[in-house]
Structure 1
Amino acid sequence: MATLLHLDASAEPEDSRSRALTAALASAFAPGNTVVHRDLHTDPPPHLPHPGLHWAPPLRTGGAPGPAAEATQRRLIGELLDADALVVGYPLYNYSLPSPLKAWIDHVHVPGLTAPSPISGSPLAGRPAVLVTTRGGDYGPGAPNAGRDHATPVLELILGEEMGMDVTVVGVGMTLAGRESPERARSEAEHEEALRHLRELGSRLGRTPE
């Protein structure tokens, strides 16, 4: 049996494209496995309340965080370390991450616990992480917004380069195109292709080694 940590960060509870896409992966993963779903919008982590939480206890200097803050961080890190795979769904808000997702990153990226260090090794190295991003406009090469997605590169850096996870990005653009807009058909086609790809990924990630 494998475990998937499923994170959603959209503020839209019902018609969210990113939620629909992560749900497709989770549904394909679920048979015979465990899915732990954390809704970062409805149950957001607090902003990091103490600078010591940036480090594992043996690496800290200065005062200690309070017990409640320690417990919150342990719970979030424990969910990540216990998962065999991660899927994160997020829309692009003001060219960047939804703030609850940033707070989650601040809690779980910890040298000495999750990020490589002499005392922790690389506990997440090679684990799959699927980033599912939805963007209201066109952020492709040559588009006016090309290079203005400041969310996905941060997650690729933290989860991939820093924590060593095997990151896959699945994106859908033009989600704010009007129903009569010529870009609407493109957005719908990207959505359908992303659904297909995520179902395949979920099924593959859910297969435990024999």
Structure 2
Amino acid sequence: MPNLLHLDSSADLAHSRSRALTAAFAEAWTARGPEYTVTRRDLHVDQLPHLEASALHWPESARQPGASIPDGAEALQQEVIDELLGADVLLVGSPLYNYTVASTLKAWIDRVHVPGVLAPAEPGDVQPLAGRPAVTVVSRGGSYDAGTPSEHWDHGSPVLQLILGTALGMDVHPVTTSLTLADVLPGLAEFSERSHDEFEAARAELVGLARTL
């Protein structure tokens, strides 16, 4: 059965744009039939601990002799890795917090980016997730238009592309919606209509992806 791994990381459980958009994708996915299943991991509600030991960055065969790892840490990491390996499609909701991904999502990234396991340790190593679709939904409070001073301030989207696309070899489909604070900050009020239009366009794109991936 096709399985979707649905990750959310927004700390806003009531008004989050990224949560609303990932929910639209998941709804369209399950509407394809009962065989289209979803594994949900809410990284804000059920937070992963920060990596307990540097040895977890590596497979057991590449660790320094005598590396100390707290009880349960390896089992938790394997659980997270197995969830990803068991997914036919990955869906990541990622609001931009202080110009990058939320720390809760970073904790998940640290669990799965393991050279020699999911990422290659040497040139030519197999990438088990190569070619598998990953849909990233990045919501941004402000504007990052080309030619503006904030053009390169989005450091979250490149992280997701680098880890999921370059390192893990997944087929990344990035979807963004900007100016999500236009209805909150007076200085952005003039962009309210654009904010709404971008959100609706992102939702339509995600529904289309959910019906085809």
Tell me the TM-score normalized by structure 2.
Answer: 0.92
Q: What is the match of residue 59 of structure 1? A: 62
Residues 120-177 of structure 1, C-alpha deviation per residue, up to 9 Å, x if partnerless? 7210000000110000000121223110011110110011011100011100000001
Task: State how far apart, in whole Å, the 1-side matches of 2:163 and 2:115 are.
Answer: 11
Residue identity in the other structure for 2:74: E
Aligned with 2:72: secondary structure? helix
- Judge conservation of contact 1:113–1:120 (CA < 8 Å) in 2: no
- State percent identity of aligned pairs: 51
Equivalent position to 1:164, from 163, 169, 172: 169
Q: Deviations over 1:62-94 (max 9, x none)?
A: 314233100110010000011011010011101
Q: Which residue of 1 aligns with 2:41?
A: 38
- Provide the C-alpha distance between the structure 2 equivalents of 1:105 and 1:19, rounded to a whole number of angstroms: 19
User: Structure 2 residue aligned with 1:89, among 55, 74, 93?
Assistant: 93
2:15 equivalent in structure 1: 15
**What residue is the counterpart of 2:103 in the other structure?**
99
2:129 aligned residue? 124
**Residue 194 of structure 2 corresponds to residue 186 of structure 1:** yes
Q: CA deviation at 1:102?
A: 0.4
- State the alpha-carbon separation in 2 of the partners of residues 120 and 40 from structure 1: 30
Aligned partners of 1:138 and 1:144 also within 8 Å: no
Q: Secondary structure at the match of 1:116?
A: coil
Deviation at 1:112, TM superposition (A): 1.6
The letter of the residue matching 2:196 is: E
SS where residue 71 of structure 1 aligns? helix
Instruction: From the superposition, tell whether residues 120 and 43 of structure 1 become closer, same or farther in structure 2 (CA, over 3 Å).
Output: farther
Residue 118 (structure 2) aligns with: 114
Give the TM-score of the pair, scaled to structure 1.
Answer: 0.93
Q: CA deviation at 1:14?
A: 1.4
Deviations 1:24-76 (A, max 9, x none): 11111113311011000011111001011001111111314233100110010
Equivalence for 2:27? 27
Q: How many positions carry a matched residue from both structures?
A: 205
Instruction: Give the residue type in structure 2 aligned to 1:198.
Output: L
Query: Matched residues in 1 for 2:130 and 2:68: separation?
Result: 28
